């Protein structure tokens, strides 16, 4: 059996850095971890190929080579997904579809021959058994959350690693919190399920042996959902492995803001090689936090929490939302002030969206407020529901807010605030980590010379950083490269 695994193309988004990837000779930020993990679950004697449409063109000859196509994606990839399925069907190749998009709304995808829903550890094997027996069903689903200690190591051999900025790993699935707008608990449950320390370190070893040295993003939706095991087993094991291998990896992940309350955990993460994290802050308004069920963010000084993480060597990126029912028109200024004071350089500000399967979608549907399917891109300025605020006012002020925070003046001010607090890691990371940053330095120095917009702010920031924080210059320049992408995204709103 010949299997072609296809990952559909992403449009330009906040996090895929398409506007700057070509400047550092990369095609995509990260690989399709789900597909290369599924590839490892297939029979060993099957031939496998991967086409990630974000790094290479899908040719008809690729499809014609295959006996069957496996395709997965998220809702933001729907346009490319649909077009790709149609191409495969036209060429007479059977299509097997899975992933969060089809799991959330399987009835919206009539064209694939087979749908493997929920988590592949449960639903893929019955399909493979039925396929071998010659009587596969169309839909395989389960309401059971699998034990992920059985999840195999991803098949790194399918990737052209040099085309990616970072590699991905997963440690856990599920989140203990219950935010109304989030689809994670619907997909993966409230109880964080974790891999063993030995299992995760074996994945580190396999990635290292595959030739990777550089950034690694741990894709968990809340890496610290099970703090006890992190402290007792995983992080000490990572520290030992990193030291033995010369710290080839620097890590980034997603966490909840209560990380700032646990100094021991922050120290362990820093010693493991974590240099960045993403936090869902959403809003400084307590009433809106109550509305969306973000109880872990209520009643605390979130700016102080962010700064405590920055002082531990974590570059905090964060998500923010406007458009809650509780929001008044002053929310835009309040969000701006919070973002500037916090020094969160990479602030993803989005309009509230109601994804399929969330408590928010169900509530708004019951209130007859859903007007269209979600786009999957909460920073594209679109609404899929009727907000309480006048929608014209909401969208206009949202666009103004994003353009403002990514204007050169305010972006550079925020960067300066961050650099004042940020403690750069004492770890001597592997060679490839340094090469990535040095490439970014060379690229943005060229951009700083030839760009007119923000040129003065750019050089002022460079001079100040070299004078006050010379050890942080590579961090500063890397963030300036990111800022160029964010500004281009904002300018198109």
**For 362-393, how does the pLDDT look when each residue is reduced to its tens digit (9 = 90+)?**
999 999 999 999 999 989 999 999 999 999 99
* 248-293 confidence digits (pLDDT tens): 999 999 999 999 999 999 999 999 999 999 999 999 999 999 999 9
- If asked whether residues 279 and 345 sit together in one domain, one would say yes
Strand bridging mode 193-194 / 172-173: antiparallel
- Does residue 490 fall inside a structural domain? no
User: At 448, is the pLDDT very low, low, confident or very high (cuts 50, 70, 90)?
Assistant: low
Residue 440 pLDDT > 70: no
- Does residue 68 fall inside a structural domain? yes
Rounded to the nearest 5°, which phi and psi values hold at 455?
Answer: -60, -45
Reduced 3-state DSSP string for 359-415? HHHHHHHHCCCECCCCCCCCCCCCCCECCCCCHHHHHHHHHHHHHHHCCHHHHHHHH
- Does residue 477 fall inside a structural domain? no
Rounded alpha-carbon distances, angstroms, from residue 3 to 23, 43, 69, 70, 351:
33, 11, 6, 7, 39
How many whole angstroms separate alpha carbon 213 and alpha carbon 250?
A: 9
- If asked whether residues 123 and 207 sit together in one domain, one would say no
- Does residue 440 fall inside a structural domain? no
- If asked whether residues 27 and 131 sit together in one domain, one would say yes
How many whole angstroms separate alpha carbon 194 and alpha carbon 410?
A: 40
Task: Give me the residues paired with residue 168 across strands.
Answer: 217
> Among 127, 98, 114, 104, which residue's Cα sits nearest to residue 37?
98
How many whole angstroms separate alpha carbon 387 and alpha carbon 343?
A: 29
DSSP reduced 3-state for 114:
strand
Domain boundary (106, 140, 174) is at 140
How many whole angstroms separate alpha carbon 53 and alpha carbon 173?
A: 26
Q: Provide the domain count of the chain.
A: 2
Residue 314 pLDDT > 90: yes
How many whole angstroms separate alpha carbon 74 and alpha carbon 104?
A: 10
Domain boundary (371, 391, 420) is at 420
How many whole angstroms separate alpha carbon 294 and alpha carbon 290?
A: 6
Element containing residue 292 per DSSP (H, E): helix 286-292
For the entire predicted model, the pTM comes to: 0.95
> Among 75, 26, 33, 89, which residue's Cα sits nearest to residue 54?
26
- DSSP alpha helices (H): ranges in 29-152? 33-39, 60-65, 78-90, 100-104, 120-133
How many whole angstroms separate alpha carbon 493 and alpha carbon 486?
A: 11
Q: CB–CB of 173/192 below 8 Å?
A: yes
- If asked whether residues 282 and 176 sit together in one domain, one would say yes
- If asked whether residues 291 and 179 sit together in one domain, one would say yes
| Residue-range definition of the domain harbouring residue 328 | 165-420
Residue 83 pLDDT > 60: yes
Residue 447: predicted pLDDT: 60
Domain boundary (420, 445, 462) is at 420
- If asked whether residues 50 and 180 sit together in one domain, one would say no
DSSP reduced 3-state for 72:
strand
- If asked whether residues 126 and 191 sit together in one domain, one would say no
Percent of all residues in the chain with a pLDDT value above 90, rounded to a whole number = 85
- If asked whether residues 187 and 100 sit together in one domain, one would say no
- If asked whether residues 225 and 308 sit together in one domain, one would say yes
Question: What is the CATH number for 65?
Answer: 3.40.50.280
How many whole angstroms separate alpha carbon 435 and alpha carbon 173?
A: 32
Residue 413 pLDDT > 90: yes
Residue 26: predicted pLDDT: 92
User: At 436, is the pLDDT very low, low, confident or very high (cuts 50, 70, 90)?
Assistant: low
- Does residue 442 fall inside a structural domain? no
- Does residue 335 fall inside a structural domain? yes
Mean pLDDT of 229-244: 97
* 97-123 confidence digits (pLDDT tens): 999 999 999 999 999 999 999 999 999
- Does residue 475 fall inside a structural domain? no
Contact residues for 41 (Cβ-Cβ < 8 A; gap 6+): 120, 121, 124, 125, 152
Mean pLDDT of 36-44: 98
- Does residue 465 fall inside a structural domain? no
Residue 380: predicted pLDDT: 93
Question: What is the CATH number for 243?
Answer: 3.80.30.20
Residue 435 pLDDT > 60: no
Residue 22 pLDDT > 60: yes
- If asked whether residues 133 and 210 sit together in one domain, one would say no
- If asked whether residues 69 and 205 sit together in one domain, one would say no
């Amino acid at each position: 059996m010949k299997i072609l695994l296809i990952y559909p193309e992403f449009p330009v988004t906040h996090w895929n850095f398409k506007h700057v990837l070509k400047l550092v000779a990369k095609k995509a930020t990260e690989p399709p971890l789900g597909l290369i993990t599924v590839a490892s679950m297939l029979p060993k004697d099957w031939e496998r190929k991967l086409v990630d449409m974000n790094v290479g063109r899908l040719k008809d000859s690729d499809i014609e080579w295959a006996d069957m196509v496996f395709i997965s994606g998220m809702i933001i990839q729907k346009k490319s997904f649909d077009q790709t399925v149609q191409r495969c069907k036209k060429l007479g190749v059977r299509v097997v579809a899975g992933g969060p998009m089809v799991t959330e709304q399987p009835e919206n995808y009539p064209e694939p021959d087979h749908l493997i829903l929920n988590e592949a550890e449960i639903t893929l094997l019955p399909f493979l058994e039925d396929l071998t027996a010659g009587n596969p069903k169309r839909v395989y689903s389960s309401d059971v959350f699998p034990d992920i200690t059985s999840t195999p190591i991803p098949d790194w051999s399918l990737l052209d690693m040099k085309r990616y900025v970072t590699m991905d790993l997963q440690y856990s699935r599920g989140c203990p919190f219950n935010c109304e707008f989030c689809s994670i608990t619907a997909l993966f449950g409230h109880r964080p399920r974790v891999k063993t320390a030995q299992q995760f370190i074996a994945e580190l070893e396999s990635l290292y042996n595959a030739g990777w040295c550089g950034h690694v993003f741990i894709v968990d939706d809340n890496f610290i959902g099970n703090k006890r095991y992190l402290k007792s087993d995983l992080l000490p094991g990572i520290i030992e492995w990193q030291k033995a291998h010369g710290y080839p990896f620097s890590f980034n992940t997603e966490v909840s803001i209560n990380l700032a309350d646990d100094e021991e955990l922050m120290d362990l993460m820093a010693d493991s090689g974590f240099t960045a994290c993403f936090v869902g802050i959403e809003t400084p308004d307590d009433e809106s936090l109550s509305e969306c069920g973000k109880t872990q963010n209520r009643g605390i000084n979130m700016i102080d929490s962010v700064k405590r993480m920055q002082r531990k060597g974590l570059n905090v990126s964060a998500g923010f939302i406007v458009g809650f029912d509780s929001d008044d028109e002053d929310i835009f200024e309040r969000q701006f002030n919070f973002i500037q004071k916090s020094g969160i350089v990479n602030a993803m500000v989005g309009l509230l969206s109601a994804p399929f399967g969330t408590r928010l979608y169900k509530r708004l549907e019951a209130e007859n407020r859903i007007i269209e399917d979600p786009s999957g891109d909460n920073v594209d300025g679109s609404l899929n529901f009727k907000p309480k605020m006048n929608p014209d006012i909401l969208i206009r002020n949202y666009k103004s807010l994003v353009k403002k925070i990514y204007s050169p003046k305010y972006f550079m001010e925020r960067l300066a605030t961050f650099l004042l607090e940020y403690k750069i890691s004492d770890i001597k990371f592997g060679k490839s980590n340094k090469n990535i940053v040095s490439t970014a330095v060379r690229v943005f120095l060229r951009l700083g010379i030839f760009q007119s917009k923000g040129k003065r702010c750019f050089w002022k920031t460079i001079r100040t950083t070299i004078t006050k924080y010379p050890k942080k210059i590579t961090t500063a320049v890397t963030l300036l490269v990111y800022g160029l992408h964010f500004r281009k995204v904002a300018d198109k709103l």
